[in-house]
Amino acid sequence: GYRVSLQGNFFGRNHTYITFPEYNPCKHIKLDPPANIQSNVTASKCQIWWSVPWYLVEILQYELQYKEYTMSWETALNKTPSSSLPQIEIEAAELRSGITYAARLRCKVSENEDSYHSQWSEWSQTTVFQRPGIPKLSEQILNTRTMQFLFIPLSFGTLLYLFWNCKLSSSCFLTSGQKASPVLTFPHQLLSSSHSIICTMGILR
């Protein structure tokens, strides 16, 4: 520890002012910001990592800010890593698809550290990343269902059209004792041999 004093000459007299009677430098640290901040984006998350001196890795804590690139830092979201490792992850659900983001970082000595104490460092340089655009699943499902809904009535309408044309050309006249006409195409119609039946098949409307 040190004693910090201020000496000066005021109105021809020397004066000494004790500024800090017991000043311990390790309790008043301001660190350099993390360096070499980098990022990598996958479909599920964004990974961000950085560099700090190896002898500080276990005693530092960090704060991350990230925002849309075109927005101001006042709108930024804050995120705190759960460990002292120089890395952090942002879930893809927290990022908008196709939007460019900027992130920055600062550090200080952990509150759990007894030997040292510090204030936050300045903010680091930024890293820029973008979540890739992905097709919306709902749109794909909607297109598939639309095709299904259109296919069914169109197929049914086509069958009805063919059925009606067939019935239009199938007018038949049958008499007692005669065999069924070759143009008759509906075997489910039963003929009585003891009565004369004249069957005319009309058009269904």
Q: Are 34 and 108 in contact (CB under 8 A)?
A: no
The pLDDT value given to residue 14: 87
Considering the domain boundaries, does residue 196 fall inside one?
A: no
Query: Of 33-37, 78-82, 89-93, 196-200, which range is least confident?
Result: 196-200
In angstroms, what CA-CA distances link 61 with 67, 81, 113, 152, 162? 21, 8, 10, 62, 77
Which band of pLDDT confidence, cut at 50, 70 and 90, is reported for residue 168?
A: low
Considering the domain boundaries, does residue 59 fall inside one?
A: yes
The pLDDT value given to residue 191: 41
Domain range spanning residue 50? 27-131
The pLDDT value given to residue 73: 96
Within the chain, residue ranges assigned H as helices are 137-168
pTM over 0.85: no
Q: Tell me how many domains the chain contains.
A: 1
Q: Give 40's strand partners.
A: 47
Segment 96-116 shows an average pLDDT of: 92
The pLDDT value given to residue 170: 54
Using DSSP bridges, classify how beta strands 77-79 and 60-68 pair: parallel, antiparallel or unpaired: antiparallel
Q: Is the pLDDT of residue 72 over 50?
A: yes
Which band of pLDDT confidence, cut at 50, 70 and 90, is reported for residue 13?
A: confident
Considering the domain boundaries, does residue 51 fall inside one?
A: yes
Collapsing DSSP to helix, strand or coil, 145 comes out as helix
Considering the domain boundaries, does residue 185 fall inside one?
A: no
The pLDDT value given to residue 166: 67
Considering the domain boundaries, does residue 188 fall inside one?
A: no
The pLDDT value given to residue 169: 58
The pLDDT value given to residue 9: 85
Q: What are the backbone dihedrals phi and psi of residue 120, each rounded to the nearest 5 degrees, phi first?
A: -65, 145
Considering the domain boundaries, does residue 60 fall inside one?
A: yes
Residues ≥6 apart with Cβ < 8 Å to 55: none
Considering the domain boundaries, does residue 127 fall inside one?
A: yes
Considering the domain boundaries, does residue 161 fall inside one?
A: no
The pLDDT value given to residue 45: 92
